[in-house]
């Protein structure tokens, strides 16, 4: 079946920068799973998947404005430490660590610049901001979403939300 709104898609990807250097890959673990049409995925990637089906392999190159944004010089913000999520867990944040914050536009990766007890100064630019990115994509599975998934607005099961 083809990828349309209200389908759950599993796909593998390799992400490369403009120089062709690999930044991320899902091929050595589980594919990603997401509910199509809900902007749960990078929009440029999600749009490129519309109409594709299981077994399709292709590459898409996104300009920064269609991917993680143009680098903003003034995107430094002070955020309550409790709003940061990521690998530091309960330990203290340190400069250079990457954290995740929830924004009105969804999850965002940020880089810690300075850490205080309650307030952390972060660079809101994604580590991938300003980069031209190429995704090599392989569609692994496409199925109709369940009523529950449509209601929740996300995919369940392997690669999706576990709850």
Residues at the contact surface with Zn ion, assessed by CB under 5 A: 152, 161
Q: Closest CB to Zn ion among 37 and 64?
A: 37
Sequence-separated (6 or more) residues with CB below 8 Å from residue 134: 15, 16, 17, 18, 20, 59, 60, 61, 62
Smaller CB separation from Zn ion, 108 or 152? 152
- Residue closer to Zn ion by CB (options 108, 154) is 154
The residue sitting closest to Zn ion, measured at its beta carbon, is 152
Alpha helix locations (H) across the chain?
A: 43-49, 147-152
Contacts of 24 (CB under 8 A, 6+ apart): 13, 14, 15
The least distance separating Zn ion from the CB of residue 139, rounded to whole angstroms, comes to: 22
- Give the nearest distance from C-beta 145 to Zn ion in angstroms: 11
CB of 8 to Zn ion, least distance (A): 11
Of the two residues 108 and 161, which places its CB atom closer to Zn ion in the complex? Answer: 161
Residue 64, φ and ψ in degrees, nearest 5: -50, -40
């Amino acid at each position: 079946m083809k990828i349309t709104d209200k389908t759950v898609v599993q796909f593998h990807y390799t992400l490369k920068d403009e120089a062709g250097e690999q930044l991320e890959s899902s091929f050595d673990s589980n594919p990603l799973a997401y509910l199509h049409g809900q902007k749960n995925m990078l929009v440029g990637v999600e749009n490129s998947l519309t109409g594709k089906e299981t077994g399709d392999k292709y590459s898409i190159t996104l300009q920064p404005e269609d991917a993680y944004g143009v680098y903003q010089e003034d995107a430094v913000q002070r955020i309550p430490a409790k709003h940061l999520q990521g690998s530091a867990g309960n330990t203290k944040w340190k400069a250079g660590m990457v954290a995740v914050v929830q924004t009105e536009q969804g999850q965002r990766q940020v880089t810690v610049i300075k850490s205080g007890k309650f307030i952390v100064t972060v660079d809101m630019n994604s580590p991938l901001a300003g980069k031209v990115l190429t995704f090599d994509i392989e569609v692994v599975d496409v199925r109709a979403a369940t009523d529950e998934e449509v209601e929740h607005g996300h995919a369940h099961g392997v690669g999706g939300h576990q709850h």
